[in-house]
Structure 1
Amino acid sequence: MKSVITEEQHVKFTEQTGLDVSKALDNSLHNGRFKIGVAQKLINLHLKYLWTTGYTNEPPHCLIDGIIRDKAKISYDWTTDDPIEAYKRAISDLKAVADSPWTH
């Protein structure tokens, strides 16, 4: 049976991954931080591949990169954005775009 995680669990995992990698590799990272934007992209890309190959359920979020950002016309830079609040705002903005009548 494929496990299902909630959106809240997914966000917490993404945030914790950023913290854990920052702690483990702080001397090797720019300003000692593994940014949330980078963490979300890697996690969401990995989950996308697992989903498309049938190994897991649909992920809670799509990855947010420059292509998604520009197509959705949202403000988010995965390479520099770090606070989890910026990621949550970007997801909220993507949901609003997806729910708009212009996307249907």
Structure 2
Amino acid sequence: MTQPQQDFLKNEIWMLTFGGAFQRNKVYAEKVSEKQREVFRKELRNYFEKEILPAYDNGVEHDEHCAMIEKIVADSSKYKSILSKERLSVGTAQKLLNLVLKYYWCLGWLPEPPHFPIDSRIQTYLPVKSKMSWTKIKSMDEYQGIIDCARRELKDGESLARWELANFRRN
């Protein structure tokens, strides 16, 4: 794959990732300009590409992945003046990270991720009591509860990422 092809795919992936994590989700504070949003997305992508994604080059385990979600949440407080809750929520951070990891994994750019992007569609495959809007996930305990519920749905030897990929259907 040429560099222009790879750059094109990365731009498309980030457009899809931001769309998936920010639509139907009040990420920005009131009266934040489109220019401020654009700068934030550019800086967030750069942060991911320089500080987050390299940690996944050789794969990560569950605990390290959860710590990375917490790091994203904590580091996002740098943008508190433009974010609605002064930082990204756990739900938004997991969606950003898990979506970009899924895309990169499917393209063969990174090893299989330990989790999957939690959203309402995939939760239809989980028992009713576990469902919660991903935009409302505020703690790692809530996130962990959904991951644990999904683990109980796995067949022998099946991973969370492969289970989600087999079950995910776009509306």
Q: TM-score band, normalised by the shorter chain? A: 0.7 to 0.9
Query: Greater CA radius of gyration, 1 or 2?
Result: 2
Structure 1 unaligned blocks of 5 or more: none
Paired letter, 1:95:
R
Residue in structure 2 matched with residue 34 of structure 1 by the alignment = 88
Shift of 1:99: 4.6
Deviations 1:22-76 (A, max 9, x none): x111121112131001110110110001110001111000111110112223323
Structure 2 distance, partners of 1:20, 1:87, is: 19
- After the TM superposition, list the runs of 4 or more consecutive aligned residues in structure 1 that deviate by more than 6 angstroms: none
Q: Match of 2:135, SS?
A: coil
Aligned identity (percent) is: 28
Q: Tell me, yes or no, if structure 1 residue 87 matches structure 2 residue 143.
A: yes
Q: Alignment length, in residue pairs?
A: 99
Match of 2:108 among 49, 54, 59: 54
Q: CA deviation at 1:97?
A: 2.2
* Distance of 2:108 and 2:85 partners within structure 1: 38
User: Which structure ranks higher in relative contact order (CA pairs < 8 Å, sequence separation ≥ 6)?
Assistant: 1
For the aligned residues, what is the CA RMSD? 1.8
For structure 2, which runs of at least 5 residues remain unmatched after alignment? 1-56, 157-162, 164-171
1:20 corresponds to: 75
Report the TM-score, using the length of structure 1 for normalisation.
0.85
Higher deviation after alignment, 27-36 or 91-100: 91-100
Whole-angstrom distance in 1 between the partners of 2:125 and 2:148: 15
